[in-house]
Amino acid sequence: MGEWSIAAAGTAGQGVQTIGEVITVAARKQGYAVFSWKEYESRIRGGQNSYRIRVSEDPKNAPVERMDIVLALNMEAAEKYGFLVKRDGLLLAPESSNKNALAMDFQALANESAGKKIFANAAAAGALAAAMGMNPQGVKSELAARFTEKGAESVAGNESAFQAGYDHAMALCKERRTPSIPDRDQRPEALTNVHEAIAIGAAYAGCRAIFAYPMTPSTNIIGQMAARWEDLGVFWEQVEDEIAAINMAIGASYAGARAMTATSGGGFSLMAEGISLAGMTETPLVIVLAQRPGPATGLPTRTAQGDLQFALNAGHGEFPKIVLAPSDPKEAFHLTVKAFNMADKYQAPVIILTDQHLSDAHFTQDIHPEESEPEYHLARDCENPPYRRYAITREGISPRMYPGQSEHLVCADSDEHDESGHITEDLFNTAPAMAEKRLRKIKAMEREIPEAFTHVPSKSEIILMGWGSSGNALFEAAEQLTQEGRRTGVIHFTHLWPFPELPPLQGEKLFSVENCAFPQLARLVRQETGLSFTGSVLRYDGLPLTGTYIRDLILESL
Amino acid sequence: MSDNSNLFDIDVPSQWCPGCPNFTILETLKKSFTALGLKPQDICLVSGIGQAAKLPHYIKCNFFNGLHGRALPVATGVAAANPMLKTVVTTGDGDCYGEGGNHFLHAMRRNPDITLIVHNNEIYALTKGQASPTTRSGEVRALNPQGTTAPPFNPLAAAIISGCTFVARGFTGDSAQLAELFQAALTHEGLSLVDVVQPCITWKPHPLQWYKDRAKRLPDDHDPQDRASALAMAMEMEETFYTGLYYRADPSPAFAGSCHEQRAYLPMAEQQGLSLEKTRALLQ
């Protein structure tokens, strides 16, 4: 077996999610790695959405363009997603529309076998399991597990419909080349998600509180904290707006708690003032910015990397900040721990950039928490009384205590202030000294920023440069191009600010690859290094970058 | 009393206009802290921007002087993180009812254990005399030479209907009552609002006598547990500033109360994160 890509598509509420999840879990139990992702409209019922699954022996944690099988639960879905089917692929739909399509009336199958049309999605799951060549028992038992709560009648109905769909599809598929996913004696790595890894990573890193306002695609971070309160132990509060969210997090952090917030572009705009406040008051703060396409409300449930320059420049005035961008759950976990450690150490805001794709995708990937360790930097006592919250030091980092910790008073101010935290108008000495003290922290921060991840084989013709969520797509594109005789390397950024060092380049054709309409990464790299680019691969249709998409555009532009 | 007040004295030059009633609020607050046996390290003052928001600089205690309008959310974060602190917000009518209006409404509902003291002078003083949310309609202000047209915001009525469990008004001309109100507010274990009528002596929206004519203590038979009559008194702000405790109710449950109880009131700064073993298990 190589790998198989499947899309289940239908209208919201039709069971697409259930089918996707059941197939995912069953394939994993059969011993396979699964990567899944979703694309959907901004509505609760109706519309047409799809759940994509990539099944392979070894983990292939990136989205793909074309599908071996598309399961369409209705004809609108068949029309919208039919083009995704590979030339030798298969479309399973209620009616036949082309040579690749197998007509299966899921509702009729459900009605005949289980007496109710409502079991149509179980019939569809059965058809899909057959077309995928999966072990039907595994899928059936996952389906049963999901409906146990609804009672024996529901379980029995689902099982009958599933079997009917499975048998029907087996008969129809006999003549075709279809996938085969036999049981294998392997235990795949864990099924993980970036925002889940951020939530668990935050709890491990000592985060004690999250304050947030619901905004897709960031909501599942505070959602994890709320749903898993007993496990994670992180206090959470849904607040009235993003301004309150960031200010509450700053208040909690000033009071000594590791605190965070999470939002998307519009909410992040409201937070810009607060980011500046954290910079001025030197209050540690972790902010997750889960991107979606803008401007304004944009495409609320879609993906993008369009807020890179905004994140780098958010907040008025000049102050140090750190910007990190994981591409998968493992990086998300470790970068989250690093974000809390660095925020604490440098007393500065840290922004973690993710996006809708990462928010909804599930990866097959183990995370080893012991590879990161929470480090705490609160001063346990005042070494040189009287305590001065903003004492000027060589590296610019002042000992930070928390209010109520001892008789030492902790005074923080958003006005320019003196070492004790009181307002100053001393333009001659204090104000410039304080500005310099804050900016000196950048030097120390830079030492903790590793060189950008670089995999450029010698004699490469092309280098693809990207950041954050597109990581695995970049590597797949480079692999495809290399196999086609265009040797290609990759430079991928997970640390964006302070800007990391780059290895010396050998005159390769340099392309930035970005999930947005304007080459923002290229601008950043040019600004920091003077490097010039041959071109950029830009995707701004709200869907994630894939290896094929990148490869096609690179070949077009060569 | 003056000896004890020294505990909170600090040698920071004031940026307030000489003779400003802000000084009365400041001294009364210091005396109230002393009367309650509090020490500087027990207190965390949080403020935004404006003349009232400078108050924390003039008291010896912990403070966070943040952004315009944002004192309440910062204080809410402080109160969540360390329930052992006496968290107090000092703010003005523009800071709290204007820029921070949404936070004000939701703080009332959320009910963090915070004492909220609003210096209400019906004017933007630091930006030189513009109308504030509590300016009465028809009054002339810097940007309303023909007089304001919007009716004033009624903070006490808004607080009562939004769920605040301690609603009071003080007057800088009655510092004895103000001290009583501050002390009662500071011991209330939920959000307590003390709106303080404070004449501005520099921009003079009204002469001092105007305030003296209008400020009256609430009638002796006012029952602060009667929400409907508290609301009725709060609505009567046209010609009279009734001062005193309008409304008081059981503050429980306070914001984050069950979390604090579960953690034995340990500040979040002293709490442990998720253990490595548990983290590993959750990542499986």
DSSP assignment letter at B99: I
CA distance readout (Å), B77 to A12, A245, A276, B44, B196:
38, 9, 17, 12, 24
Task: For residue A59, give both structure tokens.
Answer: 């983990």
Token pair recorded at residue B132? 């504030």
Domain A191-371 sits in CATH 3.40.50.970:
yes
Strand partners, A490: A455, A464
| Confidence at residue A1, expressed as pLDDT on a 0 to 100 scale | 65
- Select from B42, B102, B274 the Cβ nearest to the Cβ of A241: B102
Tell me the DSSP string of B86-98.
EEEEEEEHIIIII
Smallest Cβ distance to A374: which of B62, B270, B273? Answer: B273
What is the reported pLDDT for A175? 75
How much is the average pLDDT of B35-55? 97
Residues A308 and A496: their CA atoms lie apart, in Å, by 9
Q: Give residue A375's identity as a one-letter amino acid code.
A: E
User: Mean of the pLDDT values across residues A462-480?
Assistant: 98
**A3-172 against A191-371: fold identical:** no
Fold observed for domain B21-282: Rossmann fold (3.40.50)
Q: Where are the domains of chain B?
A: 21-282
Question: Å from A506 to nearest chain B CA?
Answer: 41
DSSP strand pairing (B114-120 vs B123-124)? unpaired
* Residues of chain A contacting residue B282, judged by C-beta atoms under 8 Å apart: 200, 228, 231-232
Report the chain B residue with the minimal C-alpha distance to residue A205. Answer: B273
Helix A120-132 / helix A106-114 crossing angle, nearest 10 deg = 110
> CA-CA distance, B28 to B243, in Å (whole number)?
16
- Which residues of chain B make contact with A248, given a CB cutoff of 8 A? 73-74, 76-77, 80
Tokens in use for A440? 């000196």
Compute the nearest-CA separation of A390 from chain B (Å). Answer: 13
What is the DSSP secondary-structure string of A330-394?
A: HHHHHHHHHHHHHHHHHTSEEEEEEEHHHHH-BEE----GGGS-------SS-SSSSP-TT---S
The answer to which of A76-85, A93-102, A407-416 has the lowest mean pLDDT is A93-102
What helix, strand, coil percent values describe chain B, rounded to 5? 40, 20, 40
Helices assigned H by DSSP within A174-241? 194-204, 219-227, 229-232
Q: Which residues pair with B221 in a beta bridge?
A: none
Gap between the Cα atoms of A291 and B94, Å rounded? 34
Q: How confident is the model over A430-440, as a mean pLDDT?
A: 98
CA angle B82, B84, B89 (to 5 degrees): 75
Is a pLDDT exceeding 80 seen at residue A98? no
> Which pair of tokens denotes residue A543?
């869907």
Band the pLDDT of B4: cuts 50, 70, 90: low
| Interaxial angle between packed helices B227-235 and B155-162, expressed in degrees from 0 to 180 and rounded to the nearest 10 | 160
Among candidates A226, A402, A374, which has minimal Cα distance to B273?
Answer: A374
* In contact, A413 and A281? CB cutoff 8 Å: yes
Q: Tell whether B40 lies on the interface with A, counting CB pairs under 8 A.
A: yes
Name the CATH code of domain A453-557 (choices 3.40.630.30, 3.40.50.970, 3.40.47.10, 3.40.50.920).
3.40.50.920
Interface check B62 vs A, CB under 8 A: yes
Within chain B, how many helices (H) and strands (E) appear?
A: 11, 10
Tokens coding A101: 């399509």
Whether B1 shows a pLDDT value over 50: the answer reads: no
**Region B140-161 average pLDDT:** 96
Rounded Cα–Cα distance for residues B18 and B121 (Å): 16
* R_g of chain B, CA atoms, integer Å: 20
Distance CA B109, CA B67 (A): 22
pLDDT exceeds cutoff 90 at A173: no
Cβ of residue B256 closer than 8 Å to a chain A Cβ? yes
**Burial label, B129 (beta-carbon count in 10 A; 0-12, 13-18, 19+):** middle
In chain B, what residues touch A403 (CB-CB under 8 Å)? 41, 44, 62, 78, 82, 85
Mean pLDDT over residues A275-294, rounded?
98
Mean pLDDT confidence for B140-158:
95
User: What is the nearest CA distance from B54 to chain A, expressed in angstroms?
Assistant: 9
CB B79 within 8 A of CB B56: no
Q: How many CB atoms lie within 10 A of CB A12?
A: 16
Q: Which of residues 274-293 of A touch B (CB under 8 A)?
A: 274, 277, 281
d(C-alpha B156, C-alpha B241), whole Å? 11
pLDDT for the residue A459:
96
Q: pLDDT at position B5, please?
A: 56
Is residue A401 scored above 90 in pLDDT? Answer: yes
- pLDDT (tens digit per residue) in A317-329: 999 999 999 999 9
With CB atoms and an 8 Å threshold, state whether A205 touches B273: yes
Q: Please name which of B55, B114, B166 lies closest in space to residue A251, comparing C-alpha atoms.
A: B114
CA B114 to chain centroid, in Å, comes to 8
Q: Which CATH architecture has domain A3-172?
A: 3-Layer(aba) Sandwich (3.40)
Alpha-carbon span B84 to B89, nearest angstrom? 16
B147 φ/ψ sector (left φ>0, alpha ψ -120 to 50, else beta): left
- This prediction's pTM: 0.97
Hey, what are A475's tokens?
């590597």
